[in-house]
Amino acid sequence: MIHVTDLVKTFHRGSINEVLALSGINLRVKKGDFITVIGSNGAGKSTLLNCLSGSYPIDSGHILINEQEVSRWPEYQRASLISRVFQDPLLGTCGPLSIEQNLALANRRGKPHGLRRGVQRSDRELFRKQLAQLNLELENRLKDSVGLLSGGQRQALTLLMATLVKPKILLLDEHTAALDPKTAQQVLELTQKLIEDQDLTTLMVTHNMRQALQLGNRLIMFHGGRIILDVSGSEKAAMSVEDLLEQFYKVRGEEFVSDRMLLV
Amino acid sequence: MGALEQGFAYGFLVLGVYLTFRVLDFPDLTVDGSLPLGAAVSAVAITAGYDPFLSLLFALLAGFLAGVVTGVLNTKFGILHLLASILTMIALYSVNLRIMGRPNITLLGKSTILEPLTNAGIGMFNAAPLLFGLLSSLALLFLLWLLHTAFGLAMQATGVNPQMITSQGVNTDRVIILTVGLSNGLAAVSGALLCQSQGAADVNMGVGTIVAGLASVIVGETLFGCRSIGRALLAALLGSVLYRLTIALALSLKLGSFSLTPSDLNLLTALLVVAALTLPKLRGKVFSR
């Protein structure tokens, strides 16, 4: 499904602030994989997602989706394959537009936005049915502007929009981090349901190790722009938060030692 | 009546300014150049014997191209929107002189789009407001339709949340180029209508266009509201008429031996925009006490 080889990404290249965000990532994602991605701040998790979606141009390497090289495609073109949910609930929807208008835009993801009427009468039935599964009673508020909704409601709507047209890949970038714990749990349950229903290939960045272990069939850990842990299936199922932390400190410790050795 | 005629003629421009300034969040100064461009194209076309209505279409196309230049400078060359539009505006001054061949062209004795109406026995003073009102209403209906198409929704989202609409597969560069193009096409039609009703095109007639356009949009919003797209478009058009009425009123005022002259217009307009922008905030402060 996704085949990433030798992906390198630096920020502020050539200046004294140069940061190597991804140093030669290799990753193969199978169809239907639900991968949780963890790592400390600046480890490269979000950078990987942004490189996949086309938000950031890459320095070198290849990104293949379904055997097709997409690393030179602009972001809007990759949207025909990839849909995203951001950390900021305001980023995934358009506030002044109504719920049905937002859904109508999402319903044409990857297709031309021409001069047909934006919201077709026949769309509304579909939108109501889809909104009903959120259990937020939004199905009766099609004409309300999205700006009136709460952060949690907007994030649920963004999730629905991301999956309205089935994407080849779903990218979730800490999409529950800005919500209160109860709402976060609801959005997470919805995420799980939507992914299972459509058998979506998913990469989900999270800061919550428990979450990362609970969800998905595979887990990867980033550190310093590298993937330092990649476990799946029964191996992942057997892991605990303590195991993860131990792995994490082991890598950090080794680096610490090697730095020390350089200094001596 | 003169204010009505001008208000509706400038209505096209104001609708265009609404598109860039409010929908797209793109402050576009190109209109200072594309309004006289429309006048120049229309005047030259009529002088060359083309049908006056056809000259409006030429003006629309010329204005559209001018807007496309600004859009391309901004999106493809990464020049700040304000600066991109100023560059096009400055360049258009020379282009307009080239098109006309001299600083102004009079249309004395030439037929204009008002001729069919005056021939039918409607007086000149009624014909212009009537026809311009009808045409600008048609433009309003066209924009109302356009903003509710899939492309129109993408246009609105591009102004508010470019990241969201890009992730829905829309090329925001294209949307910006086309919208700024359309906006300047409308400004050029304003220029063409003004030139035909005043009987002359002048290379300097565009000075202060953007500020007048902004004033009209803001005055309309403040007085008529902008709850829905339809309401906002109507407010823009009515704002244009109201703005011209205000100007006419201000010019007719006499305080003893002091009276305002047309050369004070720019100062007046700037003050009006400042007032319209600050008064709602001041009102909010007073009421919150």
Predicted local distance difference test score (pLDDT) of residue A14: 87
Has residue B14 been placed in a domain? yes
pLDDT digits (tens, 9 = 90+) for A84-128: 999 999 999 999 999 999 999 999 998 999 999 999 999 999 999
Has residue B263 been placed in a domain? no
Q: How many CB contacts within 8 angstroms connect chain A with chain B?
A: 82
Nearest CA in chain A to B169: A76
* Nearest by CB: B163 against A77, A91, A106: A91
Lowest mean pLDDT, pick from A5-14, B56-65, B79-88: A5-14
Report the number of distinct structural domains present in chain B: 1
Q: Span A164-180, mean pLDDT? A: 95
Has residue B102 been placed in a domain? yes
Has residue B245 been placed in a domain? no
- Residues of chain A with Cβ-Cβ distance to B171 below 8 Å are 74, 76
Residue A84 to residue A161: CA distance in whole angstroms? 9
DSSP string, B84-142: HHHHHHHHHHHHHHHHHSSSEEE-TT---TTHHHHHTT--HHHHHHHHHHHHHHHHHHH
Which tokens in the block code for residue B237?
């058009």
Has residue B254 been placed in a domain? no
Predicted local distance difference test score (pLDDT) of residue A264: 44
Q: Is the dihedral of CA B42, B47, B49, B51 positive or negative?
A: positive
- Residues of chain B with Cβ-Cβ distance to A106 below 8 Å are 168
Asked if A109 has any chain B CB less than 8 Å from its own CB, the reply is yes
Has residue B172 been placed in a domain? yes
Q: Which residues pair with A28 in a beta bridge?
A: A3
Residue B131 to residue B119: CA distance in whole angstroms? 13
Predicted local distance difference test score (pLDDT) of residue A119: 94
Q: Is the pLDDT of residue A147 over 70?
A: yes
Structural domain harbouring B16? 2-204
- Residues of chain B with Cβ-Cβ distance to A110 below 8 Å are 169
DSSP A33: -
Predicted local distance difference test score (pLDDT) of residue A262: 52
B167 within 8 A of A75, measured Cβ to Cβ? yes
Asked if A101 has any chain B CB less than 8 Å from its own CB, the reply is yes
Lowest mean pLDDT, pick from A36-50, A203-217, B232-246, B253-267: B253-267
Has residue B209 been placed in a domain? no
**What kind of fold does domain A2-230 have according to CATH?**
Rossmann fold (3.40.50)
Nearest CA in chain B to A163: B168
Predicted local distance difference test score (pLDDT) of residue A255: 60
Contact B153 A84 (CB under 8 A): no
Identify the three-state secondary structure at position A27: strand
Q: Sheet containing A82-85: which strands, arranged edge to edge?
A: A82-85, A169-173, A201-205, A34-39, A218-223, A226-232
pLDDT digits (tens, 9 = 90+) for B66-115: 999 999 999 999 999 999 999 999 999 999 999 999 999 999 889 999 99
Asked if A94 has any chain B CB less than 8 Å from its own CB, the reply is yes
**Mean pLDDT score of chain A:** 92
Q: Which amino acid is at A250?
A: K
Has residue B212 been placed in a domain? no
Q: Is the pLDDT of residue B250 over 60?
A: yes
A36-49: buried (b, 16+ CB within 10 Å) or exposed (e) per residue? bbbbeeebbbbbbb
Short-list A84, A22, A67, A9, CA closest to A220: A22
